Structures are given as structure tokens and as C-alpha cells.
Structure 1
């Protein structure tokens, strides 16, 4: 497929969300395989915020034709979801700190973990009535001596499909009670890649264009869905074979990076190193494609 075909794929009509998987319910929450109590806490918090987000999403679809417009309404929906999640997590672990999209950093005991929360990843999709957004929650353990900690638990919940992707360090990645593995594809012509496109001064468009021009002619397709947390969850689930984007925040990627790694994939910066957070460059893929895609990426970046 040529680059023009890949560009066209970015602008095709938005696909319907996937059907929710079969699942068992106990007391209104999902019955999952053995995991720490933190996953239960995170899942409960996300599910408590979800009904209001679903109602708000239905409402915002009606506001598309209003004179006022839906932007202020969506901002309130984002804050309400964050407040609900904050209250649930705070109740479970009163001395933990927070890093959240809306409220920013809320200090806790420096010797305890902190929560990293994005209450509505995919806000622009939500704003335009596109059914592709998620709640992302991660746990960051402190490192001795300070500095950026280690992500040990992560959960990404899609309110409209009722899909709960979660991972714990050393325990694998899961979709509800089904173990996740990255895709087994090894050949570039079979690969479907996700990305995020720089916009309105966010990100390096020249860099993104160079990578796109290098990768697009070699792969089956490139998709831009607009929610980095779900892009990473879908790499972990084998729906996408790889993902790249820059200029993301910790709450966008913390849970998703753990999911990919626990599903057997790799996450690196654009140079192939382990400084994705530090460089704000995120490249995730399965083990069979990582080296091939990185080589294409490096060739593209060499020209800028």
C-alpha cells in the first residue's frame, strides 16, 4: 500500500466500537482472575464514574446542533468523572498521592505509591460524539531517593463497550478474565499501526511526518483513533501491531505501557532506547516487528 492509501485510511468514517466480550458479573462488578486488591479498587472507581460519562456522552451528541456548543459541557463531564474516581481511590488509600489530568498533582505520603489518573482519554472524540474514549488509572511505586517511579498496576476501562483492560507487573495483561498477548505478526505488509497526529501546536509535526512517510508505504495500514490509552491497550490485545506518538502526558500512557509490556510487547523511545517518558516519545509493538519498525523510523528521522 502506498502512502496515499495510508493517508486515506486516516480519514475514513469512524468504525463502530467492538462488541463487549462475554463476562461474568458478581455484585455489579466483573469477576476477574486472581489479582491484587488494587485492581479491584481501580475497576470499582472506573465503573462508578462510567454511568455518568455514558449519560453525558448521549447528551453531548444532542448538543452538537445547539448554539452554545458542547465544549463547556464536556469539560464539566471530565471534571465530574475525575472527582468521582478521586473520591473512590482516596477512600481506599487515604495517604496516597495523585497525578491527574484536571487537578494536577496532589501530594501524599512520599513513601507510598500514587495514583495516575486520566478520567476521560479521548476528550475530542467525546466532544464530537465519537464512541472511542476511556478511563485510565495506574499505580506508580516510589523509587528510593525520589525521581520517577515504577508503574506496577494499570487499568483502562472503555465505558461504552464495558471492556476492562488491566495489568500487574509480573502477572500479565488481561481483558476481563482473558489473558492478553500482543499479536504474532512478523511481516511489515501484514501490520496495522496506530498513531497520534500532532495538532494545534502539540507535538512535532515534522518529526511525525518523517516517521509516517517511512512507515506507511511498508505496512497494511495506519489508523488514528484519538485515545492513546486505548491504542496501547489494543496493541496489548493484538488488535494493533504497533503504535507511535509523541507529546503525551503520564496519565495518557502509564497504564497502557504496562499493558503492552505485560502482554509480551516492547515500549521504547523513537531511538529504540528505554527513555520513552523522559524523551516523551512512545513506540510500542510486538517483539517480531519492533526492530523492523524501528529501523524504518530511524531512517525517516535521519532526514530531518
Structure 2
């Protein structure tokens, strides 16, 4: 498979879909509630249907893990992981960032890995992308994670839980710690964008719980390809489907994950 050519086609698809989202955002948004503070609009559904249709042409054998369920096809080896609008709450309030996130997972018998990722942020018209064995790019230019050596030198990002509040005690402790011991803490409202910003060095690190695979698949892959690291809160590799992720540049990674583990679990590693 020519992943470079495929990635270029996915970048074009993301940009075309982004224009559809811009056009439709001028119309009245039909908003439905999926759960507590969890929304979907007709634009999410329309964008996902367009993405699924085109990806089905590009790689007919692949299945889909798509937030709005436009396809439930399961591929024997390849599956696309799609969020048509990551940051829907921002979108319905007319705020940026919000982004299209598309990743390709290869379930080869020897491995199970993301091999392609695209995050297209509509507000700044920025497309982040990479494929296996390639660097990460932003609008055609190679990007890398930052070289900040410590949390004290870092600008960090997180996301607030919107449904699962069972871990709030540890999470609030983490907010307190990072506000006092870093350059600051930001909450943008799009995990895909947060991760893309780690990949290009705007943030040194990002962490959040309560996320789904389609929120993080493309962005975490970009961080990896840009020289950073990802893990779950226990330091393991179950960040894609485990609903929690730590992502950072290589230099603060050990310190960052240790602090989060200690604060979220109230104990030492």
C-alpha cells in the first residue's frame, strides 16, 4: 500500500469536507443531544457521510469506527477511525478550534497500529498529517515536538470531563499542580487539536480522560511521528481505547506521566 499517496488523498478529503462544514455552519444548526453535554448536529452527520463515502472508494476493503455511526462495516485488516467534527460544542457555539480527525488502523497479524493520521483544524486552515515511516507535517512543512526539558518550562493542555465525573478529585488536584508548576494550562475543547499542537510544539503536553478512539487516534499518531510519546495514565499503551491519554514531548514525558499517575491515583509508581 502506498501510504503517502493515500494520505495525500485523505488530506484533500479533509479540506473538502471542511469547506462543506463552513458552508453548512451558515445555516441553522439542527442540534440533538446524545448524552449529558454530548451533542451532534446535521453537519456532523453530513460530514461523516461524505468522509465514509470517499474513504470507501480509496480503500474498499477497510471498515470504520465512526463517531456518528455512518458505517458499521468492520475490516479484516484495515479500519478508519473518524471524528467528523472534534469539538462539536465549540462548533455549535461558533467557536474555534474544531477539527476533522481521520486515522487508519492496520490490524496486521504482527501488530495493531495507526499507520496514517490527518487532523484538519478549520479555524486557522491548518492540516496536520503523517503516515507510517514519515515525519509529521503541517501544511507541507515538517513539524516536531518541542524541546522544553521540564514541566516548569511547559505550556500544557487538558480537557474537562463532560459526563464522567467519578475521577474529579484527582483531576482537580492535577489542575492545581500544573497551574502552579508550569507556564500554564489550556483547555481548547478539541482533543484532536490539542494533540496536533503537541506534535508541532505549541503545547509540551496534553492529558485527558473520558475520550474515545476517534478523539485521539489521528492526533496521538501525529505526536508519535513528530518525536513525542503517548501512554495511558498508568504508563501503559492502552490510550487508544482505554479512554485516557498522556501525550508529550520526549523530554518531559517521564516527569509528566509520573505526576499525573500520582495525582490521579493518589500513590507513587
- Partner of residue 71, structure 1: 31
**Equivalences for residues 55-94 of structure 1 within 5 A:** 55-59=23-27, 71-72=31-32, 75-94=41-60
240 and 90 in structure 1: CA distance in 2 versus 1, 3 angstrom threshold: same
Inter-partner Cα distance in structure 1 for 2:168 and 2:48: 30
Q: Which runs of 4+ in 1 moved over 4 A?
A: none
Inter-partner Cα distance in structure 2 for 1:113 and 1:293: 33
1:39 counterpart = 2:7 = yes
- Kindly state the Cα deviation for residue 202 of structure 1 after the two structures are TM-superposed: 6.0
8 A Cα contact 1:215 1:296, kept in partner:
no
- Partner of residue 290, structure 1: 253
Name the count of aligned residue pairs: 260
Q: TM-score, normalised by structure 2?
A: 0.89
Instruction: Give CA deviations for 1:22-72 in whole Å, capped at 9, x if unaligned.
Output: xxxxxxxxxxxx961111221122122111211223345xx7xxxxxx525
8 A Cα contact 1:202 1:247, kept in partner:
no
- Partner of residue 19, structure 1: none
Instruction: Give CA deviations for 1:141-193 in whole Å, capped at 9, x if unaligned.
Output: 11328xx9310000001123221100112211111211111011113222110
8 A Cα contact 2:167 2:264, kept in partner:
no
- Partner of residue 164, structure 1: 127
**Equivalences for residues 1-304 of structure 1 within 5 A:** 36-59=4-27, 71-72=31-32, 75-103=41-69, 106-110=72-76, 112-144=77-109, 149-201=112-164, 204-303=167-266
Instruction: Give CA deviations for 1:64-93 in whole Å, capped at 9, x if unaligned.
Output: xxxxxx525961010000011111111222
8 A Cα contact 1:193 1:243, kept in partner:
yes
- Kindly state the Cα deviation for residue 241 of structure 1 after the two structures are TM-superposed: 0.6
Q: Which runs of 5+ in 1 are unaligned?
A: 1-33, 64-69
- Partner of residue 24, structure 1: none
8 A Cα contact 2:86 2:192, kept in partner:
yes
104 and 39 in structure 1: CA distance in 2 versus 1, 3 angstrom threshold: same
8 A Cα contact 1:182 1:264, kept in partner:
yes
8 A Cα contact 1:54 1:160, kept in partner:
no
Q: Report the aligned-residue RMSD.
A: 2.3
Give secondary structure in 1 for the equivalent of 2:43.
helix
Inter-partner Cα distance in structure 2 for 1:89 and 1:286: 31
Between structure 1 and structure 2, the one with the greater Rg is 1
Give secondary structure in 2 for the equivalent of 1:264.
coil
Q: TM-score, normalised by structure 1?
A: 0.79
Q: Which runs of 5+ in 2 are unaligned?
A: 33-38
Point out the more displaced range, 160-169 or 125-134. Answer: 160-169
Give secondary structure in 1 for the equivalent of 2:147.
coil
Point out the more displaced range, 82-91 or 211-220. Answer: 211-220
8 A Cα contact 2:45 2:68, kept in partner:
yes
